[in-house]
Amino acid sequence: MRKACLLIRTAVVLGCLLSAGAGARAEDCGNGVELTLTAPEAAQGTLLLAEIHSAKPLTEVSGRWNERDVPFWQDGTREHSASGPNTRKALLGVDLEKAAGKYEFTVASQIQGGERVSCGVRIEVKEGHFATENLTVKKQFVEPNPEQEARAEAETKRLREIYERVTPERLWDGPFRMPLDGEFKGSNFGKRRVLNGHPGSPHGGVDFPAPTGTPVHAAQRGRVVLAEELFFSGNTVLVDHGLGIYTFYCHFSEIDAKVGDEVVAGTVLGKVGATGRVTGPHLHWGLQVERARVNALEIVRVLGSGDAIFRK
Ligand SMILES: [Zn+2]
């Protein structure tokens, strides 16, 4: 199928749609290199998977999206190498507030022997159509006193600094799973919120209402980079999965992890609770991919077992 994609231009669309899934888009970059995207368009808060396939071994692949470098990885090994299948993959996150419009994604690759091949595709970002909701929370979370405000600002800055760090190795090594066992449904991602009558920032995570004490599991292998109580998110754990991918879990009643822990998919990070700015016990699950705030269910859909359940 791949050969057909490369050799017969008119068969590219059909052949690559069949090989990469319905809605996928393929670009012939020349010199036996092809770029496929899971879809030619994406909504705010979603993920796209990009793949580079080459007839000859690749020694280097780099990309640009959202004014940032996009790290590529090779399945099968944690380290990039010139051997093995000539395929590299990357995730493109569309931030939940990225303005609707068309944006360029560019890729440059080096083929063994020295040839460089560059390629670009335009991706259409569409509105996420997020609902607005009115919530009532404790007054301190909407009108914090100067001390609380200074604390919240310092914590936001620290989180931003963590998210800016891109661990160059891929730490995850399999499908991403849901953080709760059982039939819990996630919702509320991207909702524009009005808190006690004041417009708030959009909701950057997925909420899973669940009884206090329900174990919360790491979605995949990674390293715990924060495990403490924060002003807005209460008891919080943040896991670095490498290549700019972070999952965030909060409002725990209890934290069962510490900074530096190496976790695997399923490791218990803590227990569901109602700490921080909440209206009741639930897990708030967040995902950032190269600084883009994305619906966490997307990583289960794109890199998981596909059992994510979507609800707005
Ligand atoms: Zn939440």
Query: Cα dist. 269→83, 209, 213, 240, 265 in Å?
Result: 36, 17, 12, 13, 11
Contact 22, 40 (CB under 8 A): no
Calculate how far, in angstroms, residue 235's C-alpha sits from the geometric centre of ligand 1: 13
Q: 284: CA distance to ligand 1 center in Å?
A: 4
> Cα separation of 283 and 231, whole Å?
16
Nearest to residue 73, comparing CAs of 114, 33, 65, 81? Answer: 81
Token digits of residue 216: 């919360």
pLDDT, averaged across the chain: 87
pLDDT at 311: 37
* Distance separating alpha carbons of residues 240 and 162, to the nearest angstrom: 9
**Distance in Å, CA 165 to ligand 1 centroid:** 24
Dihedral angle of Cα 279, 130, 248, 210, to the nearest 10 degrees: 40
Distance 39 CA to ligand 1 centre (A): 28
Position 305 pLDDT exceeds 80 = no
Ligand 1 centroid, distance to 8 Cα (angstroms):
49
Residue predicted with more confidence, 115 or 261: 261
Q: What is the pLDDT of residue 207?
A: 96
3 state SS of 35: strand
Centroid of ligand 1 to alpha carbon of 254 (angstroms): 17
> What mean pLDDT is predicted for residues 215-226?
98
The residues near 137 (Cβ < 8 Å, ≥ 6 apart) are 195, 196, 277, 278, 279
Taking the centre of ligand 1 as the mean of its atom positions, its distance from the CA of residue 26, in whole angstroms, is 36
Q: Is the dihedral of CA 163, 121, 86, 265 positive or negative?
A: positive
DSSP letter string, 120-153:
EEEEEEE-----EEEE---GGGTS--HHHHHHHH
Q: Note the pLDDT of residue 196.
A: 86
Split at pLDDT 50, 70, 90, the class of 82 is very low
Cα–ligand 1 centroid distance for 180 (angstroms)? 15
Ligand 1 center to 134 CA (angstroms): 14
CA of 222 to the centre of ligand 1 (A): 22
What is the reported pLDDT for 262?
A: 98
- Centre of ligand 1 from the C-alpha of residue 131, in Å: 14
Structure tokens belonging to residue 17? 């749609």
Question: How far is the centre of ligand 1, averaged over its atoms, from the C-alpha of 244 (Å)?
Answer: 22
Range of weakest confidence among 6-10, 44-48, 168-172: 6-10
Q: How confident is the model at residue 294 (pLDDT cuts 50, 70, 90)?
A: very high
Residue 85: predicted pLDDT: 59
Task: Enter the tokens of residue 71.
Answer: 């790290």
Report CA(70)–ligand 1 centroid distance (Å): 28
Answer whether residue 4 shows pLDDT above 70. Answer: no
Quote the pLDDT of residue 184: 86
- Mean predicted confidence (pLDDT) in 302-308: 69
Structure tokens at 86: 């000539």
How many angstroms is it from 302 CA to the middle of ligand 1?
22
Q: Is the dihedral of CA 260, 293, 130, 38 positive or negative?
A: negative
In the reported structure, the alpha carbon of residue 206 is separated from the centroid of ligand 1 by a whole-number distance in angstroms of 6
Could you tell me the distance, in angstroms and rounded to a whole number, from the CA of residue 41 to the centre of ligand 1? 27
Summarize the chain as % helix, strand, coil (round to 5): 15, 40, 45
Least confident of 2-16, 73-87, 111-125, 209-223: 2-16
Give the rounded percent of residues in the chain with a pLDDT score beyond 90.
Answer: 72
DSSP character at residue 266: T
Decide if pLDDT at 158 tops 90.
yes
Task: Give residue 221 CA to ligand 1 midpoint distance, Å.
Answer: 23
Task: Give 194 Cα–ligand 1 centroid separation in angstroms.
Answer: 13
In this predicted structure, the answer to whether residue 236 has a pLDDT above a threshold of 90 is yes
Predicted pLDDT of residue 8 = 30
> Percentage of residues in the chain with pLDDT exceeding 70?
87
Quote the pLDDT of residue 175.
94
Ligand 1 center from residue 209 Cα (angstroms) = 10
CA 46 / ligand 1 centre spacing (Å): 17
* 144 CB neighbour count, 10 Å cutoff: 16
What's the rounded mean pLDDT across residues 260-279?
96
Q: Tell me the whole-structure pTM to 2 decimals.
A: 0.87
Q: What is the pLDDT of residue 5?
A: 34
Strand 58-65 with 234-242, pairing: unpaired
- Return d(Cα 62, Cα 70) in angstroms, integer: 6
Given a cut of 80, whether residue 23 has pLDDT beyond it is no
How many angstroms does the Cα of residue 205 sit away from the middle of ligand 1?
5
Task: Give 208 Cα–ligand 1 centroid separation in angstroms.
Answer: 8
pLDDT value at residue 22: 53
Helix (H) or strand (E) holding 16: helix 9-20
